[in-house]
Amino acid sequence: MAGTYSRAEAAILPVFAWAHFSHHLAVGGLLPLLPVIRDEFALDYLLSGTLVSGFSLAYGFAQVPLAFLIDRYRLRKSLVIAVGLFGAALSSIAVGLSTSYGQMLVLLVLMGIFGSTYHALASSFLSEYFPADSRGRSLGLHVVGGSASFIATPALALGILNLSGSWRAAFIGLGLPAIVAGLLLLWLASGREKVMVGNRSPAARLPILDVVRLIGLLALIAAVMQVVTGGINTFLPLYLVDRHGVPREVAGIAVGLVAGAGIVGAPAGGMLSDRVGRKPVILLSVLLSGPLLYLITAAPHGVGLYLLIVLYGLVISMRMPTMESLIADVVPAAQRATVLSAYYFLANEVSGVATPLIGLLSDLTDLNTAFVVLAVFSILAGGLAALLRGGKAERTAGP
């Protein structure tokens, strides 16, 4: 029955939600701590953005070949995810021990490589484990773990910073939960995946041109929108500090408002897409994000500004599980991780290249002007997405 989980399904989802939560704790310390790191190393906007890009570029480039090998040789995704969680945890601890900008940049690249093992493989695992008629909801609930971490990460990072007086201690503390998550996955999910892969019926591979025809343009727009999301997540704390005079320790929490709104937005978007189709929900998310971002740039500091930030996070969070579900609806399980990783690669590489450019534009003008440019870009993308509006996506794939 759609909407009811079996006992096995109900057990596996919290484990992956916790893994998602701890994954983002391990790799998410940079953004809320960026104002403090900027001051310690005397960084401008360009160098600050380059730290974020070092992680993003490594994260994107590593995941596609990894996912291809896992699909090709039918390797156990949960085992690879666990190794990645261990590596991300150790990388975060190492960042906390770094003493120079160069060391930090290298370690963030390493963190990106280990971090690349998570999203595509976890989404592929869950989309095969859960039936298609509850796929959006399941992937949305999985996103809740990541979204909750973006509320917890700034609070934990800044709390440890205030207690210890050191941003390095914050990186060390944030890395530890991922070790626990890796052990849980090895204990609970690995054996179940062995059975799942063994029972998988051989499926014809979908030609890449068919994938592009079915979801290509919509996936491209959703990926390009990551430029805006990445820019906002990177520079929002600095924007609040420089434009509104918000204390830097408080400004880091703003990132949590954007991503934390996904606790509601992601499952709501996923459940809605199970009922009305994937494309209408993606279209709604893209259409609303641009105007909301523009209102953020025009709003004075106060409660209204933070409400707009939360609404913006709510709207953009609806897109992620819905896009993952659309890909899973179309692409067979035997090649799903590869296609998901290609989508994440496109999103992360576009964002990784664009983030320093947004920083450069901010250096040449100011952050508010850069945010207005991103808002206009979002509105134009929404107009293009409206031309691609459609009904419920055709489901051609297996489980």
Per-residue confidence band for 92, with pLDDT thresholds at 50, 70 and 90:
very high
Task: Work out the average pLDDT over 99-125.
Answer: 94
Q: Is the pLDDT of residue 280 over 80?
A: yes
Average pLDDT over residues 20-43: 90
Q: What number is the average pLDDT over the span 336-354?
A: 81
Pairwise CA distance, residues 349 & 336, whole Å: 20
Would the pLDDT of 382 be above 90? no
User: What per-residue confidence (pLDDT) applies to 196?
Assistant: 64
Task: Tell me phi and psi for residue 365, to 5 degrees.
Answer: -120, -100
Q: Which two tokens stand for residue 136?
A: 């959006």
Q: What is the mean pLDDT of the chain?
A: 86
User: What percent of the chain shows pLDDT beyond 70?
Assistant: 89
> Which homologous superfamily is 8-387 in?
MFS general substrate transporter like domains (1.20.1250.20)
On whether the CB atoms of residues 300 and 253 are closer than 8 A, the answer is: no
CA–CA distance, 144 with 110 (Å, rounded to integer): 26
- Please give the torsion angle defined by the CA atoms of residues 115, 258, 151 and 307, in that order, rounded to the nearest 10 degrees: 180
Alpha-carbon span 175 to 149, nearest angstrom: 12
Please tell me the distance from the alpha carbon of residue 83 to that of residue 78, in angstroms, as a whole number: 9
pLDDT at 353 over 90: no
Dist CA 216 CA 346 (whole Å): 11
List the structure tokens of 76.
């156990």
More confident residue, 334 or 162: 162
pLDDT for the residue 140? 95
List, for residues 193-248, the tens digit of each pLDDT value.
655 666 555 556 778 778 777 777 777 787 778 778 888 888 888 899 988 988 87
pLDDT at 137: 92
Q: Look up the pTM and report it.
A: 0.82
Q: Which residue has the tokens 């992680």?
A: 55
Please tell me the distance from the alpha carbon of residue 167 to that of residue 252, in angstroms, as a whole number: 12
Contact 172, 93 (CB under 8 A): yes
Under a CB-based contact definition with an 8 Å cutoff, are residues 258 and 232 in contact? yes
Question: What pLDDT does 16 receive?
Answer: 94
Helix ranges restricted to H, 245-277 = 248-251, 253-260, 262-276
Which of the residue ranges 74-78, 221-225, 279-283, 341-345 would you say has the lowest mean pLDDT?
Answer: 221-225
How confident is residue 392, by pLDDT bands cut at 50, 70 and 90?
Answer: very low
Q: What is the pLDDT of residue 246?
A: 87
Buried/exposed 269-280: b ≥16 CB within 10 Å, e otherwise: bbbbbbeebbbb
* Mean pLDDT, range 112-129, rounded to an integer: 93
Give me the mean pLDDT over the 370-381 stretch. 89
CB-count exposure of residue 238 (10 Å: 0-12, 13-18, 19+)? buried
Using only C-alpha atoms, the chain has a radius of gyration, in whole angstroms, of 20
Instruction: Please report, rounded to a whole number, the percentage of residues in the chain having pLDDT higher than 90.
Output: 46
For range 52-64, the mean pLDDT:
84
Residue 99 CB contacts under 8 Å (≥ 6 apart), including other chains: none
Both tokens of 132, joined, read 């298609």
- Per-residue pLDDT band for 298 (boundaries 50, 70, 90) equals very high
Q: What's at 9, amino acid-wise?
A: E
Q: Assign residue 300 a region: left if phi > 0, alpha if psi is -120 to 50, beta otherwise?
A: beta
| Residue extents of the structural domains in the chain | 8-387
